[in-house]
Amino acid sequence: MTDAPRILIIAQKDLNPTQRAEIVELCSRAYSEDFSSIVQLPDDQPVHSLAYLNGNLVSHALWFTRLLDYNGIPLQSAYVEAVATEPAYQGRGYASILLRHLARAITAYDIGALSPSDPAFYARLGWELWRGSLFVAAEAEIAPTPEYRVMILRLPRTPPLDLGGSLTAPWREGEIW
């Protein structure tokens, strides 16, 4: 049985240097790539969810506000990224516990959204794969992004959605979705 981790929800601007270093190290090990840029996002945006077990960071996720357009209807989304678990603790349910807690923390948003690396994992937690067209808006141009996958989490404020509709995100540096 998985021991219950202690969950912290903390705005990036409120992270201390130790927490910042722990997040970078955990995500870098989990993804086998340099994640130092994760704590260099604008400080007023990201909110981090941290799962600690016996004082050690074992799982992480973050979200930031991202305005998505659903068939012409603006949706304020909690866009989730950097879901990671320390490799030695993977498969024990810590990311699932963390994401369930995160889902309760984002209920003031219209929708939760993310680009999944493992859709089946997120589907078990209530996330739904977007089946419709995906676009990115940059300046006056809207470009299709068929190579991406997006999942959404319906929240109390989510309006009726047809998962076959179109979803448009504003362009951003790095990962588009």
Given a contact cutoff of 8 angstroms between Cβ atoms, the answer to whether 52 and 26 are in contact is: no
CA dihedral 97, 37, 75, 127 (to 10 degrees): -30
pLDDT recorded at residue 37: 83
pLDDT recorded at residue 36: 87
Is 60 exceeded by the pLDDT of residue 1? no
pLDDT tens sequence across 77-123: 999 999 999 999 999 999 999 999 999 999 999 999 999 999 999 99
SS3 state at 72: coil
- CATH T-level fold of 6-170: Aminopeptidase (3.40.630)
Residue range 49-70: average pLDDT?
97
* Token pair 């024990």 in the structure block, residue: 92
Given a contact cutoff of 8 angstroms between Cβ atoms, the answer to whether 85 and 58 are in contact is: yes
**What pTM was computed for the model?**
0.93
Residue range 117-140: average pLDDT?
96
| Residue 169 tokens, joined | 């995100």
